[in-house]
C-alpha cells in the first residue's frame, strides 16, 4: 500500500509547481473577497443616499407689506386728433415754411401759394363794387327827384314805383359785389397755409414749385399733437367689473406705459375712458389713458405695454412667485425649518404681480421658503442653504 506524500515530503523537483498553484488560488480568492466587500459597501451607500445627502436649494425670506395689482395690456399710442393739412385754393406752391418733424403752434405759417392771381381777383371785385356803388347812388338820387315830381303831380305813381325797384336792385347788386370782394380776400388769406392745430408735423408730401389743388387727396403734410397724448389698450372682459368699481372710487386710475420688454417705464398717466362694449373677437374691452407726455417720450402709433393699477393689497405676506407650487390639493410652498429640513405648507394665493405673489394665509413674515431646487424635494428632505455672499467654503 502506497503512503500519501505531503507537500513537505515532495521531492525537490516537484515543489516549484505546487507552490505556483497555491499562489494562484490565493490571488483568485483575494480578488473575489475584495469585490464582495466593495459590492456590499456600494449597495449600502446607494440605499442611504436619498435620506442622508442634503439637496442644494435657493431660498428667500417671506415679508409682509403692500402689493400693487396691475392689469397689463398691449396698447397703441394715438394722438388726440390728427389733421391732414390741405390747400383750400388752387395754385403754385412757392414756399414751404416748416421743417419736417418740427413742433408747430396753431396758426403758424406752413406754406405759401402764389398770391398774385388772388390779388388780381380782389382788384376786379373791388372795381366792380365801386362801379355798382356809383350806380346805386345815382338811382337813389333819381328816386328822390321823382318823389318830388309825384307830389307836384307831374309824373305818375307808377314811375316812382319803377324807380324804387331799380334802387332795390342796385342795392342787391352791391351786396353781391361785396361778397365777391370778401371771397377774393378770403382766397388771398388761403394762399397762406397755416397750422390748424398745434403739434408735430410729419414728412411733407409736396415740394415747392408744384401746383396744388383743393381736391388733392394726399394734402401737404400731417400734424399730430403729442402733448397730451393717448394710449389705447385692452384688458380681459373678466376684469372689467374690477376696473369699473375702482374707477367709481377713483376717477383717475393710474396708468403706466412700459416698453415692449416691460423693463423700462416710459411715462405715467391716468385712465380717461372705458369703451361701452366687449370685443367678441378677442373677449377684451378697450380702455383709453391720457398722458401729459412732457418729455415727448411717447410717439404716435408706438406700441407700448400699458399697466393699469386696479388695487393695492395691504398687509399681505409676499413671497417670490417661483416658490409657489401647485398640486391637485392646491397651492403650497416648501418652508425651511431650523434643522435644515423642509416642510410642505399649504397656502392661499391672493394675487400675483410680476415676480411676487401675495398670500392670504399659510405663512408668516420672516419664514424661509425654497425658490429653486424644488423638483428634488420631499417633505422632510434635508437642504443645503447657499452660503452668504463673501463667505468662503
Task: Give CATH for domain 115-190.
Answer: 1.10.287
pLDDT score of 13:
47
How does pLDDT run along the chain (393 residues), one tens digit per residue? 444 444 444 444 455 554 455 565 566 566 555 555 444 444 433 333 345 688 899 999 999 999 988 999 999 999 998 999 999 999 999 999 999 999 999 999 999 999 999 999 999 999 999 999 999 999 888 888 888 787 777 777 788 788 888 889 999 999 999 999 999 999 999 999 999 999 999 999 999 999 999 999 999 999 999 999 999 999 999 999 989 988 888 778 999 999 988 889 999 999 999 999 999 999 999 999 999 999 999 999 999 999 999 888 888 999 999 999 998 888 999 999 989 899 999 999 988 887 899 998 888 899 999 999 888 889 989 998 877 654 554
Question: Where are the chain's structural domains?
Answer: 55-67+314-384, 115-190
Q: Which among 289, 381, 311 is positioned nearest to 341, based on CA atoms? A: 381
For the entire predicted model, the pTM comes to: 0.65
The answer to whether domain 55-67+314-384 and domain 115-190 are alike in fold is: no
Task: Give CATH for domain 55-67+314-384.
Answer: 2.40.420.20
Sign of CA dihedral 167, 168, 173, 179: positive
Helices (H), the chain: 15-52, 116-152, 157-190, 240-249
Q: Which residues pair with 76 in a beta bridge?
A: 232, 303
Amino acid at each position: 500500500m502506497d503512503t500519501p506524500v505531503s507537500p513537505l515530503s515532495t521531492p525537490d523537483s516537484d515543489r516549484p509547481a505546487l507552490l505556483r498553484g497555491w499562489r494562484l488560488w490565493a490571488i483568485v480568492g483575494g480578488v473575489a473577497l475584495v469585490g464582495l466587500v466593495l459590492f456590499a459597501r456600494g449597495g449600502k451607500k446607494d440605499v442611504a443616499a436619498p435620506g442622508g445627502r442634503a439637496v442644494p436649494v435657493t431660498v428667500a425670506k417671506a415679508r409682509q407689506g403692500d402689493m400693487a395689482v396691475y392689469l397689463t395690456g398691449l396698447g397703441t399710442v394715438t394722438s388726440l386728433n390728427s389733421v391732414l393739412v390741405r390747400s383750400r385754393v388752387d395754385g403754385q406752391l412757392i414756399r414751404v415754411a416748416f421743417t419736417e418733424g418740427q413742433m408747430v403752434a396753431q396758426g403758424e405759417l406752413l406754406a405759401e401759394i402764389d398770391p398774385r392771381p388772388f390779388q388780381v381777383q380782389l382788384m376786379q371785385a373791388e372795381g366792380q363794387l365801386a362801379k355798382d356803388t356809383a350806380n346805386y347812388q345815382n338811382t337813389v338820387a333819381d328816386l328822390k327827384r321823382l318823389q318830388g315830381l309825384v307830389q307836384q303831380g307831374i309824373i305818375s305813381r307808377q314811375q316812382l314805383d319803377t324807380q324804387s325797384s331799380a334802387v332795390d336792385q342796385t342795392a342787391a347788386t352791391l351786396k353781391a359785389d361785396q361778397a365777391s370782394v370778401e371771397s377774393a380776400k378770403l382766397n388771398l388769406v388761403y394762399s397762406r397755409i397755416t397750422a390748424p392745430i398745434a403739434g408735430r408735423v410729419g414728412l411733407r408730401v409736396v415740394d415747392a414749385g408744384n401746383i396744388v389743388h383743393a381736391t388733392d387727396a394726399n394734402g401737404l403734410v400731417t400734424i399730430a399733437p403729442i402733448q397730451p397724448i393717448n394710449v389705447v389698450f385692452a384688458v380681459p372682459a373678466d376684469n372689467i367689473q374690477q376696473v369699473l368699481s375702482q374707477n367709481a372710487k377713483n376717477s383717475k386710475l393710474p396708468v403706466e406705459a412700459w416698453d415692449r420688454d416691460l423693463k423700462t417705464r416710459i411715462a405715467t398717466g391716468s385712465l380717461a375712458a372705458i369703451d361701452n362694449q366687449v370685443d367678441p373677437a378677442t373677449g377684451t374691452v378697450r380702455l383709453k389713458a391720457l398722458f401729459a407726455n412732457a418729455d415727448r417720450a411717447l410717439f404716435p402709433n408706438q406700441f407700448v405695454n400699458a399697466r393699469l393699477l386696479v388695487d393695492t393689497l395691504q398687509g399681505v405676506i409676499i413671497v417670490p412667485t417661483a416658490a409657489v407650487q401647485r398640486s391637485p390639493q392646491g397651492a403650497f410652498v416648501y418652508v425651511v425649518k431650523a434643522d435644515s429640513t423642509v416642510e410642505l405648507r399649504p397656502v392661499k394665493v391672493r394675487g400675483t404681480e410680476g415676480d411676487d405673489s401675495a398670500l392670504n394665509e399659510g405663512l408668516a413674515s420672516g419664514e424661509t421658503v425654497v425658490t429653486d431646487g424644488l423638483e428634488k424635494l420631499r417633505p422632510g428632505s434635508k437642504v443645503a442653504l447657499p452660503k452668504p455672499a463673501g463667505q468662503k467654503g
